[in-house]
Amino acid sequence: MTRGVVACKKRWYKINKTVAQFASCYDQASRNIRSGTNADDIKEFAYKLYSTNYETQLADEPGVDSPVRPQGSKKSKRKGKGKVQMSEDFSEKKSSIVKKLFLMEDIKNVRENELMDREKEREEEREHRAKIMTIKENELQIQAAMKEQELKT
């Protein structure tokens, strides 16, 4: 099936309009760059600007993909009407994210334990210093008492 000249021109104008709108959003996003931003951050910000300014999402924007019914025979059409299966990529990403979350929780627990240990050590050091101070005070009192006895005799 081939398209005619008029159909191609209409399609081009439709695509060109959307591309021009996104290009203006991308220019605006690139003008608002901060230190530490990269091309991916600019692109994400441009997507956000486009979706807020034009209240639509681009077809290639992440999260827009929807399950597509397979074309062809009746069997494949019936398969497409069934429950949508989770793609392997998504399940792999999900499992890697879950692993990362568990690792982050483990790191958090280790850091909390380290902080508690440091606090215990500091408390023990304070108690030790207090004991040393009381011992030194007692020694000074004993020395003062001994000097008084020497002066009396």
Structural domain span for residue 45: 1-63
Are 51 and 57 contacting, i.e. CB atoms less than 8 angstroms apart?
yes
| pLDDT-based confidence at residue 75 (cuts at 50, 70, 90) | low
Q: Looking at the domain assignment, is residue 3 inside a domain? A: yes
| pLDDT-based confidence at residue 35 (cuts at 50, 70, 90) | confident
Q: Looking at the domain assignment, is residue 74 inside a domain? A: no
Prediction pTM value: 0.37
Q: Is the pLDDT of residue 115 over 90?
A: yes
Q: Looking at the domain assignment, is residue 153 inside a domain? A: no
Q: Looking at the domain assignment, is residue 68 inside a domain? A: no
Number of domains in the chain: 1
**Which tokens hold the place of 71?**
């074309």
Angle, helix 39-54 to helix 5-31, in steps of 10 degrees: 120
Q: Is the pLDDT of residue 14 over 80?
A: yes
Instruction: Determine the pLDDT at residue 82.
Output: 62
Closest CA to 50 of 38, 34, 61: 61
Q: Looking at the domain assignment, is residue 35 inside a domain? A: yes
